[in-house]
């Protein structure tokens, strides 16, 4: 998993009120934080060895999916050039002397 640009997935099992909220609210695009224990399983199907990872724990919702308009990159905002510093009367008088 994750080697040579392979896509890897980790299943998440959440129980109780947190699991009910996740099932009701979450969909593709949500950013979440997952905290729990990592479980690893291995089995054989049709002679091929398989394995997967599962996190059993809690999910914290971080950010909703962005709308398509928000996903497009906005051009960088150019900052105005700094205005020349104004000199005080003392500085002007010292420069004149």
What are the tens digits of pLDDT across the range 9-66? 889 999 999 899 999 999 888 999 999 999 999 999 999 998 889 999 999 999 988 8
* Domain count of the fold of the chain: 1
* Residue 13: inside a domain: yes
* Residue 21: inside a domain: yes
Long-range CB contacts for residues 14-20, cutoff 8 Å, separation at least 24: 14/56, 14/57, 14/58, 14/59, 18/58, 18/59, 19/59
The residue that leads in pLDDT, 33 or 84, is 33
- pLDDT > 90? residue 80: no
For tokens 């420069």, what's the residue?
95
Q: What is the C-alpha separation between 34 and 53, in angstroms, rounded?
A: 13
* Residues contacting 80, CB < 8 A, separation 6+: none
Structural domain boundaries enclosing 52: 1-65
Please tell me whether the overall predicted TM-score, pTM, comes out greater than 0.85 for this model: no
The DSSP call for residue 89 is H
Q: Residue 32 in contact with residue 57, Cβ under 8 Å?
A: no
* Residue 12: inside a domain: yes
* Residue 41: inside a domain: yes
* Residue 73: inside a domain: no
- Longest Cα pair distance anywhere in the chain, in angstroms? 95
Region 70-88: what's the mean pLDDT? 48
The pLDDT value recorded for residue 73 is 53
The residue that leads in pLDDT, 66 or 6, is 66
At 53, list the tokens: 């990872």
């Amino acid at each position: 998993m994750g080697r040579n640009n392979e896509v890897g997935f980790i299943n998440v099992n959440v129980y109780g009120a947190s699991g009910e909220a996740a099932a009701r609210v979450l969909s593709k695009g949500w950013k979440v934080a997952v905290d729990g224990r990592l479980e690893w399983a291995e089995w054989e199907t049709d002679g091929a060895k398989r394995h997967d990872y599962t996190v059993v724990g809690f999910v914290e919702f971080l950010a909703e999916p962005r709308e398509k308009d928000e996903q497009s990159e906005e051009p960088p905002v150019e900052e105005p050039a700094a205005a020349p510093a104004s000199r005080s009367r003392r500085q002007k008088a010292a420069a004149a002397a």
